[in-house]
């Protein structure tokens, strides 16, 4: 197999180590095969369609240019217009959920402060916000004001909730060309986070049409206007994974940087440039893909460092192993090894269901609150959200038509 550079993040104890290169042979991955030589990805993934006549959207409410609907039982929020208008629509249409989510978040924060009064998490988040504030775009601040006004909660609570993603840790991948059955690009995204906070109970798929910018789809949560998982109308998709660097907050918060990429990037190169040229926070690793080409890049970043990892290009400071062509893989420690092993064993055969199977545990953690797969050239998006204590990766996925979501109109107008 030809050489190729892969992204992996290894964690030893509490320390994050620089990206490692992909190991080359299945001998490096003990226990990676099941009895039949198949990747240990569990039972076939269950998929429920939101694209059929039997699952047509059910309108919940309308507010201005925005509306809330249910598709296959899942909430889908459509917002459009100026930043304030989009925020206000979001706040009004999801007001009960936003108020409940914030009440829960602040109750957890108060309990945590009693247990550890020297390090109250909510105060730390407020500190991060104040440090980041000079780098937050005015449009984002206006949209946050709209959410606060529409949901009848304080702006401070909304801004605090939107800074929580500075602590996310996750996995992701992109497969295309020789790695897939149909040569199309599949971009997978696993969000591992503290399930006890309960964000997954407030999951919503957001279709945003910002005035003068690209429309995009955000796999997100009520009251949250940033992005940790998304794709835009130009078929450019983004995912991230958190590392260390807590306290390095003099830049644009990660979730707003992801949002900037969704709104502005026409191509993979433009997406990479946005992340390179914008002041950044903490330590993050990103997968950015462009289904039009198709191609993808991995980014390893800190405020003072920016490393682009290309397919076929080894890291200059690390030994060069044999890799996997036309793939970008990102995860942590043993989970990365298993993700790579599954990719090797399914190489050249991946389609939507097979790519979804890559995300089954233990590649996804028990704290997986959502898992998503974008296939823009195939007009498809698959999303699963955790239920109770069951990880999202072990539950059925809902399949959406990207085209239908982007082209949807305000009901009755």
Q: Domain for residue 37, yes or no?
A: yes
Q: What pLDDT does residue 169 have?
A: 56
**CA 169 to CA 39: how far, in whole Å?**
24
Closest CA to 5 of 365, 225, 282, 296: 296
Query: Which secondary-structure segment (H or E) carries 188?
Result: strand 186-192
Q: Domain for residue 262, yes or no?
A: yes
Q: Domain for residue 189, yes or no?
A: yes
Whether 324 contacts 4, CB under 8 Å? yes
**CA 45 to CA 346: how far, in whole Å?**
15
**Tens digit of each residue's pLDDT, the chain (413 residues):** 333 333 443 333 333 322 333 333 344 444 444 433 444 455 679 999 988 776 789 999 999 999 999 999 999 999 999 999 999 999 999 999 999 999 999 998 888 777 777 777 788 888 889 999 999 999 999 999 999 999 999 999 999 999 987 655 578 999 999 999 999 999 999 999 878 888 899 999 999 999 999 999 999 999 999 999 999 999 999 999 887 777 788 999 999 999 999 999 999 999 999 999 999 999 899 999 999 999 999 998 999 999 998 874 544 543 333 468 999 988 877 788 888 889 999 999 999 999 999 999 999 999 999 999 999 999 999 999 999 999 999 999 999 999 999 999 988 76
Q: What pLDDT does residue 287 have?
A: 94
Q: What pLDDT does residue 166 have?
A: 66
Domain with 252, as residue range(s), is: 10-43+168-201+228-407
Write the CATH number for 337. 3.60.60.10
Torsion angle, CA of 316/270/356/408, rounded to 10 degrees? 180
Number of H helices, E strands in the chain: 10, 19
Q: Domain for residue 221, yes or no?
A: no
Q: Domain for residue 16, yes or no?
A: yes
Q: What pLDDT does residue 43 have?
A: 65
**CA 232 to CA 292: how far, in whole Å?**
12
Number of structural domains in the chain: 1
Count of CA atoms in the C-beta half-sphere (13 A) of 34: 10
Q: Domain for residue 390, yes or no?
A: yes
Q: Domain for residue 148, yes or no?
A: no
Q: Domain for residue 76, yes or no?
A: no
């Amino acid at each position: 197999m030809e050489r190729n550079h892969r992204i992996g993040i290894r964690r030893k104890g509490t320390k994050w180590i620089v990206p490692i290169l992909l190991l080359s042979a299945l001998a490096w991955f003990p226990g990676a095969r099941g009895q039949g030589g198949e990747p240990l990805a569990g039972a076939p993934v269950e998929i429920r369609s939101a694209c059929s006549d039997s699952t047509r959207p059910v309108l919940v409410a309308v507010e201005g240019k925005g509306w809330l609907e249910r598709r296959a039982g899942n909430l889908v929020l459509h917002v459009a217009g100026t930043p304030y208008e989009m925020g206000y629509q979001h706040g009004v249409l999801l007001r009960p959920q936003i108020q409940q989510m914030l009440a829960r978040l602040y109750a957890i924060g108060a309990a945590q402060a009693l247990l550890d009064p020297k390090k109250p998490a909510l105060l730390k988040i407020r500190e991060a916000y104040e440090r980041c504030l000079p780098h937050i775009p005015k449009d984002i601040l206006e949209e946050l004001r709209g959410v606060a006004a529409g949901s009848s909660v304080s702006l401070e609570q909304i801004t605090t909730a939107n800074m929580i993603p500075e602590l996310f840790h996750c996995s992701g991948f992109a497969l295309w060309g020789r790695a897939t059955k149909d040569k199309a690009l599949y971009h997978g995204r696993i969000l591992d986070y503290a399930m006890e906070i309960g964000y997954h109970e407030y999951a919503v798929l957001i279709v945003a049409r910002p005035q003068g910018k690209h429309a995009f789809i955000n796999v997100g949560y009520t009251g949250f206007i940033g992005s940790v998982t998304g794709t835009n109308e130009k078929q450019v998709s983004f995912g991230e994974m958190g590392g260390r660097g807590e306290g390095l907050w003099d830049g644009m918060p990660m979730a707003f940087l992801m949002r900037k990429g969704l709104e502005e990037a026409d191509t993979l190169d433009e997406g990479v440039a946005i992340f390179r040229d914008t002041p950044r926070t903490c330590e993050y690793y990103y997968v950015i893909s462009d289904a039009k080409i198709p191609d993808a890049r991995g980014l390893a970043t800190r405020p003072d460092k920016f490393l682009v990892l290309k397919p076929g290009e080894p890291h200059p400071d690390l030994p060069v192993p044999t890799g996997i062509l036309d793939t970008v893989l990102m995860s942590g420690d043993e989970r990365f090894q298993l993700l790579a092993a599954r990719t090797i064993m399914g190489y050249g055969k991946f389609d939507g269901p097979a790519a979804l199977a890559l995300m089954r545990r233990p590649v996804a953690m028990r704290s997986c609150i959502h898992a998503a797969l974008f296939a823009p050239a195939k007009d498809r998006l698959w999303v699963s959200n955790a239920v109770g204590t069951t990880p999202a990766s072990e539950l059925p996925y809902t399949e959406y038509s990207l085209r239908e979501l982007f082209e949807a109109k305000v009901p009755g107008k």
